[in-house]
Amino acid sequence: METLNVQLAERTYPIHIGQGLLERADLMTFALRQRRVAVVTNDVVAPLYLRRFTDSLDAAGITSVKIILPDGEGNKNWQTLNRIFDELLTQHCERSTALVALGGGVTGDMAGFAAACYQRGMPFIQVPTTLLAQVDSSVGGKTAINHPRGKNMIGAFYQPSLVLADTDTLKTLPDRELRSGLAEIVKYGLIRDLPFLEWLEAHLERLLRREPDALEYAIYRSCSNKAEIVGADERETGERALLNLGHTFAHAIETGAGYGVWLHGEAVSAGCLMAAELSCRMGLMSADDAQRIEALFSRAGTPVLGPKELPPERYLDLMRNDKKVENGKIRLVLLKKPGDAFVCDYAPPSEIAQAIASRTGGAFPAVPEAPDSR
Amino acid sequence: METLNVQLAERTYPIHIGQGLLERADLMTFALRQRRVAVVTNDVVAPLYLRRFTDSLDAAGITSVKIILPDGEGNKNWQTLNRIFDELLTQHCERSTALVALGGGVTGDMAGFAAACYQRGMPFIQVPTTLLAQVDSSVGGKTAINHPRGKNMIGAFYQPSLVLADTDTLKTLPDRELRSGLAEIVKYGLIRDLPFLEWLEAHLERLLRREPDALEYAIYRSCSNKAEIVGADERETGERALLNLGHTFAHAIETGAGYGVWLHGEAVSAGCLMAAELSCRMGLMSADDAQRIEALFSRAGTPVLGPKELPPERYLDLMRNDKKVENGKIRLVLLKKPGDAFVCDYAPPSEIAQAIASRTGGAFPAVPEAPDSR
C-alpha cells in the first residue's frame, strides 16, 4: 500500500493506494464520529464489491445503511441526488454520520455533493473503484451533478476525509472504462510531468494488460500530481485550472452528445487533441509534438476525433457556459509542448472553431480490440 | 445608517442597516467582480421594490439579470431552486457574476444555496426586505431548501459578501410577517441578552407601530448578537446552536403543518414556549420566568400554542431528523432563566412529549387585531 497526503491545513487527508483495501475498513475509523456509515454505490458495483466492503465494516464494528443508485453519467442529476437525501432522512442519518462513496466518478461526484449539502455538510469518504475515479475524480474535492445545459454545473468544493483506492477493483473494470481512465492519466503527463509522459510512452501496454505494479505506479504518480496542485490551489483560482486540459471541449462533447454516451475519459482524449490542434494553429506548439500526443492516445485506444454529429458552433455555444469563462472570454488550457500547459484567454473563436472542425468526425466511440498480451 | 461586521477572517463582511439603502447600490460595488449581477426576488417583492433597486444598480453602471420566483415557504424546494440555475445558465451568468437576494428569508435561503452551488460557488449579496430576514436569516451564512421530511435539511454554510438591510421596506410588510420577525428578535433576548429583553418589554409597542428608530435599534442589536455568535462559531460546533432556541419544535411544526402554513417566526414563538415549558418541567427554570416569556410573545401577537392537529408523537418523529441530533440523542436548547440558554442532550422523550402536549391547541395562527396606535 502506498500513501500520500493532500495538504490542506486542518483538512489534510490521506490517499491510500493498493491491493485488498476494500477489506481494510480499519483504515477508515480515524475519520468516523459514529459507528455507523451510509454507503452510496450503484447497481453495477454493488453485486461485485458491496458485500466485501460491508463485511469489512461489520468486522470493524461499523454498521452501514446501503444506498444503491442506477449507474451512469445520465443519472448524475437532481432526481438521483434526491434519492440519496430521501434515504438518509428515512434512515435517520445524522450530520455526524459519514457518507462513503463506493464506485466510479459518477457515484463519487454525486455522493460527495450529497455529503456537502445534507444538513449543510456531513463527513465524506471516497472508495473509488474505477481507474478514472482513482486517478482523478476521487481526489481534490470537486463534487457536482450535471445540468441539462452543462456538465458539473451544480456542485461544491467539498473534501473527503480519506480516499481508499483498492486496485483489485480494476480487475473487473470493462476495457472501455480502463481506457477512459488512461486518458486522464496521460493528461497529467501533458500538463506538467514530462518524465511521467515518457514513462507512459514506454509502459502503456503494461497498463492495458492491467499489471498491478504498473497500475499502482500510474495511480500514485497521477494522484501525486493532483495532490500537489490541489494543495496549492484548492478552489481553482490559478494553477488548478491546468487540470482542465481538454475538459472545456470534453464537457461540450459530453453535454452535446447526451450524458453517458461518451465516457468522460473518451471526451477528454478528443478534447486534449482539440487543445493540441488549437495550440499548433496558434503557433504555440509544433506539429511534431501534436502528433506525438495523438500517437499516445491512439495507443490507449481512446477517441482522437470528436463526434461527427456535433458541429463547432454547438461547442462554442456550450463552451460559453464553461466555469472558466470570465467576462465573456472563453479561457482554455493550451500547450506549448508536452509537459507544459498554460491558461489562454485570447484564442479567437474562429480558430477554436477550426481546430474543432479539423478534429471532428468520430462516431460513437468504438471499443478497439484488446491489445495482444505479450 | 448603522454598520457592523461579521468577523470571519478573510471572509469578514459588513451589515448595513438603515433607511433608503435600496438606492445605495454604490455600497455593493466593492463586492463585485463584474458590472453585472443576477437578482433573485419573488412575485410579491418584485412589484414593490425590484425597479427601485435595479434603477439604483443602473445608476451605478451595473446591469442585472432578474429572476422572479413564486413567494412562500412552500416553494423553498428543488423545483424552485432549479429555476434559478436554469435562468443563470440561459443568461450565461459566470462564476464571477454576483447573485443578489432581494426578499425575505425564503428568497435569501434559496438564493444563497443557489450561489453556493452554481459552478461550485459564486459571490453572494443579501438585500433582506422582511424583519425576520433582516434580524436573522440574512446574517450568518446558513442557506438551505426544505425536504418533505425536514425543514432546511439540504443546504450549505455560505457567507454573503455584504448584507444591505433597508428598513424602509418594512413599511409595506404585512402585519403577520412583522410579528413573525419580532419572535426572532425576542429570541436573542432570551438566549443571551437580558438587557435587550428588558428593552423589548419596555418598547414592544413602538416596534408594532413600526417606529423607524425603534426598528433600526432592534435590528442592529439582533444582528450584533448574531454576528458575535457566528464570528465565534461559524459552523455550529458549539455556541451557535443556542440560536436554535425553540427551533427544533418550530421545524417540526412547520414540516408537520405543511411548509408555509405557519410562518417561521410564528412556529419559533410556540417553539420557544415549548422549550420554556420543558425547562420548567425539568426544574431548570421557574414558572414565573416562563410566564414572563409567554407574556412578551403574547404582546407580540405570535402563537403561544402549537397547532392542535399535530400530536406530540409526530413532533418526536420529526425531531429525530433534527440537525442537532447526535448518536440518536435529541439535543434541545433549554433555558435556566431569560437571557441564559444552554444545549441539553438529556431531556427524557416523555417529558418532551408532555411539554409539547401542554403547549398544544393552537389553530392556524390567527392574525391578532392591530394594536391601537397610541
pLDDT (tens digit per residue) in A4-44: 999 999 999 999 999 999 999 999 999 999 999 999 999 99
Residue ending a domain, choose from A171, A201, A229: A171
Residues of chain B neighbouring A142 (CB-CB closer than 8 A)? 120
Same-domain pairing of B139 and B238: no
Same-domain pairing of B151 and B222: no
Give the C-alpha separation, A361 to B284, whole Å.
Answer: 76
Same-domain pairing of B96 and B159: yes
| Inter-chain residue contact B117 with A156, CB threshold 8 Å | yes
Residues of chain B neighbouring A320 (CB-CB closer than 8 A)? 92
Give the C-alpha separation, B73 to B177, whole Å.
Answer: 13
- All residue ranges of chain A with pLDDT < 70 are 363-374
Same-domain pairing of A209 and A132: no
Residue ending a domain, choose from B109, B138, B172: B172
Q: Determine whether A247 is an active site residue.
A: yes
Query: Using CB atoms, which residue from A92, A150, A157 is nearest to B121?
Result: A157
If interface means Cβ-Cβ distance under 8 Å, which residues of chain B face chain A? 34, 78, 82, 85-86, 89-90, 92, 94-96, 116-121, 142, 144, 147, 149-150, 153-157, 235, 320-321, 323, 325-328
Q: How many domains are there within chain A?
A: 2
Classify strands B142-147 and B150-157 as parallel, antiparallel or unpaired. antiparallel
Residue ending a domain, choose from B172, B205, B232: B172
Residue B239 lies in a domain: yes
With H, G, I as helix, E, B as strand and everything else as coil, classify residue A245. Answer: coil
Q: Determine whether B247 is an active site residue.
A: yes
Same-domain pairing of B90 and B193: no
Residue A370: the pLDDT is 45
Q: pTM for this structure?
A: 0.95
| Torsion angle, alpha carbons of B173, B176, B181, B185, to 10 | 130
Please report, for the domain that includes residue B209, its CATH number. 1.20.1090.10
Test mutation, A10, A154, A326, A329, chain B, max B CBs within 10 A: A154
Query: Using CB atoms, which residue from A34, A149, A235 is nearest to B89?
Result: A149
Same-domain pairing of A164 and A181: no
Same-domain pairing of B163 and B211: no
Same-domain pairing of B149 and B204: no
Classify strands A340-344 and A332-337 as parallel, antiparallel or unpaired. antiparallel
Please count the CA atoms within 13 angstroms of the CA of B125 that sit on its side-chain side: 24
Sign of CA dihedral B267, B272, B277, B278: positive
| Inter-chain residue contact B92 with A320, CB threshold 8 Å | yes
A274/chain B closest Cα distance in angstroms: 23
Residue A374 lies in a domain: no
| Inter-chain residue contact B157 with A89, CB threshold 8 Å | no
Cα→Cα distances A135→A17, A254, A260, B234, Å: 10, 20, 20, 33
The boundaries of the domain holding residue B95 are 2-172
H or E, element range at B192? helix B175-192
| pLDDT tens per residue across all 374 residues of chain B | 999 999 999 999 999 999 999 999 999 999 999 999 999 999 999 999 999 999 999 999 999 999 999 999 999 999 999 999 999 999 999 999 999 999 999 999 999 999 999 999 999 999 999 999 999 999 999 999 999 999 999 999 999 999 999 999 999 999 999 999 999 999 999 999 999 999 999 999 999 999 999 999 999 999 999 999 999 999 999 999 999 999 999 999 999 999 999 999 999 999 999 999 999 999 999 999 999 999 999 999 999 999 999 999 999 999 999 999 998 999 999 999 999 999 999 999 999 999 999 999 876 665 444 444 33
Classify strands A306-307 and A360-362 as parallel, antiparallel or unpaired. parallel
Same-domain pairing of A8 and A115: yes
Residue B114 lies in a domain: yes
**Catalytic residue of the set B10, B120, B327, B369:** B120
Same-domain pairing of B166 and B222: no
Same-domain pairing of A110 and A192: no
| Inter-chain residue contact A326 with B94, CB threshold 8 Å | yes
Residue B362: the pLDDT is 72
The beta strands (E) that lie in chain A are given as 2-6, 13-18, 36-42, 63-69, 98-103, 124-128, 142-147, 150-157, 162-166, 306-307, 332-337, 340-344, 360-362
Please report, for the domain that includes residue A156, its CATH number. 3.40.50.1970
Residue A74 DSSP code: G
A160/chain B closest Cα distance in angstroms: 16
Residues of chain B neighbouring A78 (CB-CB closer than 8 A)? 78, 82
∠ CA A84-A258-A267, nearest 5°, is: 100
